[in-house]
Amino acid sequence: MVMWIASTAPAALVSLAALTLTGHGGPPPLEWGEGPLTVDSLPRVTYVAHRGGAREVPENSMSGLMAAYRRGTAQVLDFDTRVLRDGTPVVFHDATLNRTTFLGGEVRRLDAGEWKGVRLRPRDRLPGSWRSERPPTVEEVLDRLGGRIVLMLELKDPGGLDRVAGMLRARGLTRSVFVNTNDPAVAERVHRAGLLTQLWRSADQMRGDRPERWRSWVDLLDVDIRARDADVRRAVRSGVPRVWAHTVVTPAQRDRALALGCDGVLTDAPGRLARYRWRVPGPVSAVTGR
């Protein structure tokens, strides 16, 4: 069941330069060169715009992702995915529509046709002016941004893995998109599907984790910035190729993550962090522990 929620949030228009859509059946965009941008292009210290940078843009929106892409303050764009009643993967975080749209009810009860009637409700405290817009489908985000920048896709509904995997393979994006989950069993399925595996862990989970067990099939370990120093260091020393910290919002949190050996941060405020150089004592080579 879907119900309307009253809101006084303004629906101001925001202008964005149009970019050419690239369907998976057409030629690659010119900026790909020999192929899509892949994780091999990432810098030693990587910034990820979490949900597009949720303190700076409307989370999980096409306009927000496009703005984060154009600003260039993050090298990776993160978004969440849910699955509709008919199996369509869409870009959305919560299980219900209530918090971020003008509607109420469960996302999984809608089909693709009904999804066209959903409109996001931008937060009043976001900087700038933003329009009310339909949350995109995963396919739309991949066609707009896939190969132009590295993406991070969190599977909120693991049942959507097979369909998402097919989309990534059809577009040649298996080395351009991290597929994220909190469940090690799902992460192993992602690896077996031939995709880049990202596993995130909470501070509580990290206390009992033995991350070295995952090093043969996890490409990216995503650790909680609230975790104890010892737990973060254990993750860094696990042998997993990349260890990034979430969800970072202040320069001090970023600097702590880097000092402990992380080589990337997921942040709701990539623009803010980009204004402050990171400060980590000791030689540069010690920052990542690599």
Tens digits of residue pLDDT in 75-89: 999 999 999 999 999
CB 145 within 8 A of CB 84: no
pLDDT of 3 strictly over 80: no
pLDDT score for 102: 96
Residue entry with tokens 């204004």: 275
In the predicted model, what is the mean pLDDT of residues 20-37?
Answer: 57
Instruction: Report the pLDDT averaged over residues 40-64.
Output: 97
pLDDT value, residue 281: 61
How many angstroms separate the CA atoms of 192 and 106, rounded?
30
Lowest mean pLDDT among 111-115, 116-120, 126-130, 245-249: 126-130
Confidence at 279, pLDDT banded by 50, 70, 90: confident
pLDDT of residue 35: 77
Cα separation values, 44 from 6, 103, 144, 254, 258, Å: 46, 42, 26, 14, 11
